[in-house]
Amino acid sequence: MKESHTLIFAETEEEPSGKARWQRQVTILFGLLTNLYGRDQLLTRAKKYNALKLMRTGQPPERLLALQRLVFEDDSLVELPQERDFPRILAEIEETLADQLARRAVEGQLEEKVALKVQEQHERYLEDIKLQILNRETTVENASTLKKYALLEKMEQVGLSVPVREALRPRHLKEVVGQAQALEALLAKIASPFPQHVILYGPPGVGKTTAARLALTEAKKRQYTPFGEGAPFVEVDGTTLRWDPREITNPLLGSVHDPIYQGARRDFAEGGVPEPKLGLVSDAHGGVLFIDEIGELDPLLQGKLLKVLEDKRVSFDSSYYDPDDPRVPKYIKRLFSAGAPADFILIGATTRDPEEINPAIRSRCAEVFFSPLTGKDIRKIVREAAERLRVRITRPAVELIAASTIEARQAVNVLADAYGLTLQQQGRRGQDKPPVIGIRQARQVLQMRRLSPLTTKASPRPEVGRAFGLGVNRFLGMVLEVEAAAFPALEPGQGKIRFNDTAGSMAKDSVFNAAAVIRRISGEEIGNYDLHVNVIGGGQVDGPSAGAVIFLALYSAIKEGALRQDVAVSGELSIQGRVKEVGGIPEKIYGARQAGMKKIILPRENRADIPLDKGGVEVVLVDTVEDILEHVWAKEDQ
């Protein structure tokens, strides 16, 4: 025991060997107490338990009593120990001190461990604080970037005007011209407690996009629809969306930016955490996703879109994702585990025929057909657009624009160009009173746009070997002008038939069918003639509906009988002379009206396809070619 531990105790003369032994043992125990509590704390405890005076005496009993009070923490002990009790008392004191020393050693170890843990937690806490401060205060800004930001802010304060298409776009469904039936059908499917996915068919520029947007606006006003006030209308062009086989990016469905190659957020990249990016299908959640030209959408992307329509969710996956990584935020874990919601109504628009659309998408969508615009519709659109522009337009100018285009978008653009040209030509007069768009400005704009009035093909003068048929191209009806010439064959029975090389195989078959019918009803041997059949304009004619018009042209040429030039016909011709059902009746009637035809001859089997509004054109239903001849021969040839 160190000498410094016993300085407070009095020195005594050498005692007999027994007492000296007890004295040394007591002194050692006091040294242990000094090591256990320390000098100052031991003196404090001695005062507390009235042991200080007993400690300083030189007698073993008093010092042993002091030791008892300090070790057992009991100042009620007053009886001096007898020598015979010294071994027992010392043993009890030693055992108690051993417990205290052991406890102190364990407590010391625990305190060291606790201190170490506290230090670790403190250092981690400081690191988090530093990171937050760095994230908050670290900036990539400098004088150059701040200058560019200020320039952008200044640019935001400058605006020219609303684009003319926005200014002239209909704001209400009642302003959409010429599509009453289509709008009613669209509303029935969208503004419903159970809205349906829809595909809109029709020619370009007839208002499909505008109708879809306004249909959602109307649906949000009705309490029984599931669309909320903030239901989004997300518009995208299908021609711009392509499937990325590497799955690096997908604006339609969403993608995952890995932390290495695709530049995830800095804090994610440093931790190796992939970051999902939501796509348009999630942006449209709760509203409408409008895909214009959906027929042009990448086939692989169409398959992925079908999966989303079924699940109403988008799933994400990445080889970099670790669900047990504590650095992954909860929202990223949610996206990888449950996906992103994508419950929306799909409205697709296309100028393609229904047969060209993915059958799986068609099966999940209702279909609405938009009609081509008539001259009357175009005139109304031009006049209403002029009112929105607060400009006057003369009637001849309106008629010229309506005669030169069949698209609402194109007609409005022509009007907008004419408006700007009128302001330029009128100079200051445009500031004093509303400008007036006349036929001169309209004609000048049409010439600049390379547009000319649509030629009316109907004529009151009959002709030999010339007949009009009806066709459809992308929802636009048109009149086909077919002519034929018949010449005696150089050798009887060796005549030849020539038809357009651009025509399809079915149209060529119609020529031979017509030849067989001519022989059947007239007795003429077709082999005695060299026959030439031509579709004026080089149109690509395919399909069986040209059979009737080819028969008329050939029959007229062989018989040298004149045909009326204000009648158009459509129908498949059988070799027995029957006129069979064809498609595209509403569009064909539209085309005939545009060409100025007075009468249209159609198969009787198509009677259910004829629209109520025929635009003043007479529609005749027939069963055989003999019925057709009654209506197409000029009076003097009948």
Is 337 noted as a catalytic residue in this protein? no
How far from 439 is each of 85, 111, 164, 425, CA to CA, in Å? 137, 100, 21, 14
Q: Would 124 be classed as within a structural domain? A: no
Helix, strand or coil for residue 390?
coil
Task: List 392's β-bridge partners, or say none.
Answer: 436
Of 318, 545, 556, 570, the active-site residue reads 545
Here the CATH number for the domain that contains residue 393 is 1.10.8
The residues near 182 (Cβ < 8 Å, ≥ 6 apart) are 200, 202, 211, 368, 369, 370, 371
286: closest CA among 340, 330, 338, 364?
Answer: 340
- Evaluate the CA torsion angle 455, 461, 467, 468 in order and state its sign: positive
Whether residue 463 sits in one domain with residue 384: no
Q: Check whether residue 390 and residue 464 sit in a common domain.
A: no
Is 321 domain-assigned? yes
In this structure, are 363 and 393 located in the same domain? no
Is 162 among the domain residues? no
Of the three residues 57, 75, 105, the one that is the final residue of a domain is 105
Q: Does one domain contain both 433 and 533?
A: no
Nearest alpha-carbon partner for 470 in 305, 324, 311, 595: 595
Residue 4: the pLDDT is: 39
Q: Does 365 lie in the same domain as 391?
A: no
Residues of the chain under the 70 pLDDT cut: 1-19, 58, 130-142, 159-165, 245-248, 259-272, 427-432, 455-456, 501-508, 537-543, 635-638
The residue from 411, 428, 448 where one domain ends is 448
Task: Specify whether 235 is located in the same domain as 312.
Answer: yes
Q: Count up the domains in the chain and report the number.
A: 4
Distance CA 91, CA 351 (A): 107
Report yes or no on 116 lying in a domain: no
Whether 269 is covered by a domain: the verdict is yes
The verdict on 400 and 423 lying in the same domain is yes
pLDDT for position 272: 67
Give the per-residue pLDDT at 212. Answer: 94
Alpha carbon distance 586, 584 (integer Å): 6
Same domain, 362 and 397: no
CA atoms within 13 A on the CB side of 136: 6
385 and 359 fall within a common domain: no
Range of the domain at 338: 168-369
Active-site option among 588, 598, 599, 635 = 588
Measured CA distances, 314 to 129, 253, 281, 285, 335 (Å): 36, 7, 8, 11, 9
Residue 237 domain-assigned (yes or no):
yes
Same domain, 404 and 492: no
Rounded Cα distance between 561 and 576, Å, is 22
Residues 180 and 302 in one domain: yes
Strand order in the sheet with 529-535: 497-498, 529-535, 476-488, 466-473, 567-569, 599-603, 618-622
Residues 506 and 410 occupy one common structural domain = no
Does 588 qualify as catalytic in the annotation? Answer: yes
Show which of 314, 344, 369 is a domain's final residue: 369
